Structure formats: C-alpha cells, structure tokens
C-alpha cells in the first residue's frame, strides 16, 4: 500500500477491510502470460473472480473476469478483453455501503482505488461476509437496546458504561409497565366479572410483541440494504399481519370457547389478538421509520421503545374489545 495510507484509517471504512493484491497485470500482457503467472504465483492471487489490470503508474485501468481468461485466445492481450467500466470503492467508503453495493451488483469482490486512481487492493468475499456479520451483530445489539460505542465491543465495555447504555431503556420499560398496570386497574370492573380475561393478558401481549419484533427486524434489515418506501413496506406488513392475526386469532378463539365454554370470551380474545397483531405491524414499521427520518439509526432504541408502545396498545385494545363484546 501507499506510504500515506494512514490517512485512510477511519473506523468502519473500507480501508479496514482492504486486502492487498500483489499479483496485478499490464494491459499488454497476453492471456497466455497471465495464466502462466497465475499458475506460478497462485498464492499471491486473493479470493476474487477478477484479474486486475494496472498501468505503469499502478493506476487501475481495467478488470478481467477469470472466466474470460480461461476462454479467450491465449494470444489476446488483456487490453483487448478487459472491462474499462467497473464498480470501485474509495478507502473512505463506509463498510456498510460496500456490502450493499456487493449485494446489489452480485459481486464477490470490489476493487479499492485512491483519489489518484491508484490500485490499493480489494474488498474480498471473505471481508464482505465479515462486514455483514459485524453489521448483523451491531443491529441485533441495538435492537435489544444494548448500544455499543464506535470502538467498543461487548468484552471491552466496562460495567459502568454498560449500565449507562442499558439502564435508560430499562427505566423506560419500567415506566411502560407501570403505565400498563394503571390501565389494567381502570378495567378492574371487567376483570372482577370475567376473571378469565386476566389469564390471556400474557399471551396477547407476548404474541403482539413477537410480531412487532419481526416487523421491526424486517424493516431494519431492508433499510440497511436499500431505501424504504413507507407506504409499500407498511402495506406489505399489514397483509402479512392480517393473515397471521386471522390464523392465530381463530386458533386462540376456538381454544377459549372449548376450554371455558364462553362464546363471547372466545370472540373477545380472538378479535383482540387479531387487532393487536395488526397494530404491531403499524408500530413496528412506523417507529423505526420515524427514527430513521430523524437522522438516527433505526435500530437504535426502536426495539425497546416499540415494545413499550406495543405493550400498552395491546392492553388498551384487549380491554376495549372486552368492553364491547362482553357488554360491560
């Protein structure tokens, strides 16, 4: 690499994942010469599907798919078969952007060139997988409300720092739980006359949270890979959630009718779950969307915050439906 490459050392950039390619070729090299050198110096050829062609100033001027090397006339020069238009990265490109480009263009590796056009190396398939893995872990931790700092990992995080990261979301969750308790207390008259309603609160809340978490995960994953169309995304999730709500609501409604022998209790639980699951799709899509629009990472806090909102919404829906169908 260039002697001034330290200027590129920025966290989460392509530079961290750039693999050197010692074996490059000149435009005037023939296919025969290229194959001969590849066989002779195979350990200098990284895991890539391309041959990289540079000029005498080390500027990348073209790439040649390896399959073209195999199938071309041995006397052809690389300049006659190389592609002069190709996707490349800057060392300062964000690593997540590199992964998106690789996925979108179905590329196993991407060349990296500096501002002068000089070939620095490639982001290989192994590094792309590594980026995707790191991104997956980061999103998972953020969805859980465990926010890692720019240069932190779980093992390096001190107890005090971990507490500061996690505690605000847990306090918010506690506040949501207290709010849910207050709401349940407002419906104490219904509970006193239909005690069986209390038995279904955990399953209603859990199923709604589970569907909401699935929706958020799908949204955050899609937002990582492409620009999201809110209307299209919301409509898609509503269709899916409607079907899920219909199936799960019917199952639990039949169970309730058989076990408790109360038709209207079964209807209440069934409708509550179906409507709650639909609300999960809306909450699970809108919360990360607005967090993203505010300029923040949609994974940051969307999980814990959406869970709080969903829990309260689930209970309100449940007892509101009970008030209608049980006529109290």
Assigned superfamily of 171-325: SLC41 divalent cation transporters, integral membrane domain (1.10.357.20)
Q: Among 124, 80, 75, which Cα is nearest to 102's?
A: 124
* Residue 304 CB neighbour total at 10 angstroms: 21
DSSP codes, 120-155? EEEE-HHHHHHHHHHHHHHHHHHHTT----TT--GG
Between CA 276 and CA 309 the distance in angstroms is 12
CB 102 within 8 A of CB 110: yes
Closest CA to 303 of 170, 144, 136, 135: 144
Residue 252 tokens, joined: 């639990």
Q: What is the spatial distance between Cα 245 and Cα 282, in angstroms, rounded to a whole number?
A: 13
Residue 242 is encoded by which pair of tokens?
């409607």
Pure H helices in 226-301: 230-260, 263-293
Residues 6+ apart with CB under 8 A from 35: 69, 74
Nearest Cα neighbor of 212 from 296, 138, 100, 308 is: 308
4 pLDDT higher than 50: no
Q: How far is 219 from 1, CA to CA, in rounded Å?
A: 39
CB 116 within 8 A of CB 61: no
Residue ranges of domains in the chain: 5-133, 171-325
CA distance linking residue 273 with residue 318, whole number of Å: 8
Vertex 316 angle, CA 264 and 283, to 5°: 115
Q: Which CATH architecture has domain 5-133?
A: Roll (3.10)
Neighbours of 69 (CB within 10 A): 20
Q: What is the rounded distance in angstroms from the CA atom of residue 45 to the CA atom of residue 163?
A: 47
- The secondary structure element, H or E, covering residue 51 is strand 50-54
> What mean pLDDT, rounded, does the chain reach?
80
Mean pLDDT of 255-259: 90
Model confidence pLDDT, tens digit, residues 40-53: 876 666 667 888 99
Strand bridging mode 60-65 / 110-113: unpaired
What is the gyration radius of the CA atoms in the chain, in angstroms? 28
pLDDT digits (tens, 9 = 90+) for 99-138: 888 888 888 889 999 988 899 989 888 888 787 767 666 6
Residue in 288, 225, 278, 234 with CA at minimum distance from that of residue 97: 225
CA pair distance 65, 319, nearest whole angstrom: 63
Q: Is the pLDDT of residue 295 over 80?
A: no
Report in angstroms the alpha-carbon separations of 50 from 38, 64, 234.
Answer: 12, 5, 40
Residues 140-192 pLDDT 10s: 555 555 555 444 555 555 677 667 766 776 777 778 778 878 888 787 778 77
Instruction: Please write the tens of the pLDDT for every residue from 68-90.
Output: 888 899 999 999 999 999 999 99
pTM: 0.56
Torsion sign across C-alpha atoms 101, 103, 107, 109: positive
């Amino acid at each position: 690499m260039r002697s001034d490459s330290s200027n590129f050392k920025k966290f989460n950039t392509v530079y961290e994942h750039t693999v050197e390619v010692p074996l490059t070729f000149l435009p005037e090299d023939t296919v025969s010469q290229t194959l001969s050198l590849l066989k002779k110096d195979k350990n200098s050829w990284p895991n890539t599907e391309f041959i990289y062609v540079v000029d005498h100033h080390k500027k990348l001027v073209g790439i040649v798919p390896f399959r073209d090397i195999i199938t071309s006339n041995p006397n052809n020069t690389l300049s006659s078969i190389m592609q002069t238009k190709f996707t490349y990265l800057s060392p300062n490109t964000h690593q997540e952007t590199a992964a998106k480009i690789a996925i979108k263009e179905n590329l196993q590796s991407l060349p990296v060139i500096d501002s002068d056009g000089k070939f620095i190396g490639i982001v290989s398939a192994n590094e792309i997988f590594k980026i995707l893995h790191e991104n997956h872990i980061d999103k998972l931790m953020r969805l859980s409300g465990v926010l890692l700092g720019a240069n932190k990992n779980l093992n390096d995080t001190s107890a005090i720092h971990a507490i500061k990261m996690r505690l605000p979301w847990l306090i918010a969750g506690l506040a949501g739980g207290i709010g849910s308790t207050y709401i349940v207390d407002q419906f104490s008259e219904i509970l006193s006359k239909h005690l069986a309603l209390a038995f279904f609160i955990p399953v209603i809340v859990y199923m709604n949270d589970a569907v909401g978490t699935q929706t958020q995960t799908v949204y955050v994953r899609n937002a990582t890979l492409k620009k999201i169309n809110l209307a299209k995304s919301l409509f898609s999730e509503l269709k899916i959630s409607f079907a899920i709500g219909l199936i799960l609501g019917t199952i639990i409604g039949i169970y309730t009718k058989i076990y408790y022998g109360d038709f209207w209790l079964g209807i209440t639980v069934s409708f509550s779950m179906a409507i709650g699951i639909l609300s999960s799709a809306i909450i699970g899509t809108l919360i990360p969307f607005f967090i993203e629009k505010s300029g923040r990472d949609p994974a940051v806090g969307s999980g814990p915050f959406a869970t709080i909102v969903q829990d309260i919404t689930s209970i309100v829906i449940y007892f509101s439906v009970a008030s209608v169908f049980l006529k109290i």
